[in-house]
Structures are given as C-alpha cells and as structure tokens.
C-alpha cells in the first residue's frame, strides 16, 4: 500500500516541479498542492533530499525512455536530428527546464541529492547516440568524439532554445552543424 501511495505522490510531485521547478522546493506548499502532508512525504521518501533524488530519477527515466527510440536510425546525424525534433518540441519544455535546473545544481552541489546527475546524463545521452553508430565506429575514439560533438551541439542549442524560445533559429543552427556528421 505504501509503495502505491509513494508512486502516486511521486507522479503528483513530478507534475508540480515541472511547473514550479526544484530550486525553491518546500515540502509544505508541495504537500498542500498534491493533497498530502509534509509528514507523509518524509515518511515515504525518507527526507526532502530523498524526494528530490526520486524526482530526478523520474525525470531521467522519462527523458531516456522518450529519447531511446528516436536515436536509432541511419547514422549519427539522422539520430541527432530525430533527438533534436523531440528536444525542440514545446510539449517537452517543462521536463527540459527541470533537466537544466538539475544539471546545473549537480555541478554546484556535488554532495547533495543532485550529486552525479550531470555526469550521469552525459553518459546516458552518449549511450543513446552510440546506438545510432555502426559497431565498427561506435567503439573507436573517433566514434566517441563524434558523439561528444553531437551532444555538445544538441545541448548548446537546447540551452539557447530554452532561453529564447527561438525554435526556428536554433533548429537552423542544429541542421547546419549536423550536416557535417552525415
């Protein structure tokens, strides 16, 4: 029963932080918004840090599930183009803003609940992009460098898109850069 309630509250909290962010998360307003109490949240997640870790894991799992199927295809450039299509979709902005917030926090707070989030997502995304490469390229230094370059293009354009909302300009930049990987 507690596991079901935990999952239910995690989903509600996830929707809440998608709208309000994690930076100033306070248990009292969160609990009120999702029909719970701070005491129940602490019981189910162990601590506020435990809740944040669960929310970050939830966000990361959703992102990977959505990206994995898109990265398969006719090489790295095609996979990156498909991933950019997902990243630039306005419907994913709350998840991606949450990702940026968690990524930045993990660079600054290396011991808190954010610990390892940025490094973990780099590894996740490189693995997703590796799936798009032929095996004889994937396991070479050149293959890893190509994935890293594509990741840098996608992440840079994503940050710019989230900051400006200019999908046309950022998509044109991504398209231009990805042509060199074809």
The CATH code of the domain that includes 167 is 1.10.357.10
Ramachandran quadrant class, 46 (left: phi over 0; alpha: psi -120 to 50; beta: rest)? left
Predicted local distance difference test score (pLDDT) of residue 182: 67
What confidence score (pLDDT) does residue 70 get? 62
Residue numbers of the domain that contains 117: 2-181
Residue 92, SS3 per DSSP: helix
Per-residue pLDDT reduced to its tens digit, 136-178: 999 999 999 999 999 999 999 999 999 999 999 999 999 999 9
Instruction: Kindly tell me the burial class for residue 60, based on how many C-beta atoms sit within 10 Å of its own C-beta (0-12, 13-18, 19 or more).
Output: middle
| pTM for this predicted structure | 0.80
For the chain, how many structural domains are there in total? 1
Residues 6+ apart with CB under 8 A from 104: 118
Q: What is the pLDDT of residues 19-78, one digit of tens each?
A: 888 777 899 999 999 999 999 999 999 999 899 889 888 888 877 776 666 666 578 898
Separation of alpha carbons 73 and 80, rounded Å = 10
Percent of the chain topping pLDDT 90:
48
Report the first-to-last Cα separation within the chain, whole angstroms: 52
Residue 149 burial class via C-beta count within 10 angstroms: exposed 0-12, middle 13-18, buried 19 and up: middle
- What is the rounded distance in angstroms from the CA atom of residue 27 to the CA atom of residue 67? 31
Retrieve residue 129's tokens.
């992009």
């Amino acid at each position: 029963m507690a596991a079901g309630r935990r999952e239910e509250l995690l989903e509600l909290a996830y929707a809440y932080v998608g709208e309000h962010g994690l930076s100033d998360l306070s248990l009292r307003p969160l609990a009120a918004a999702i029909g719970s109490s701070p005491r129940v949240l602490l019981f189910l997640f162990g601590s506020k840090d435990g809740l944040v870790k669960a929310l970050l894991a939830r966000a990361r799992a959703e992102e990977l599930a959505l990206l994995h199927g898109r990265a398969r295809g006719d090489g790295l450039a095609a996979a990156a183009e498909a991933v950019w299509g997902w990243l630039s979709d306005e419907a994913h902005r709350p998840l991606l803003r949450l990702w940026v917030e968690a990524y930045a926090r993990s660079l600054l707070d290396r011991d808190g609940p954010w610990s390892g989030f940025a490094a973990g997502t780099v590894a996740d995304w490189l693995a997703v992009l590796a799936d798009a490469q032929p095996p004889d390229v994937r396991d070479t230094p050149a293959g890893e460098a190509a994935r890293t370059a594509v990741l840098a293009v996608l992440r840079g354009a994503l940050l710019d898109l989230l900051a400006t909302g200019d999908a046309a300009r950022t998509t044109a930049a991504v398209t231009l850069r990805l042509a060199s990987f074809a």
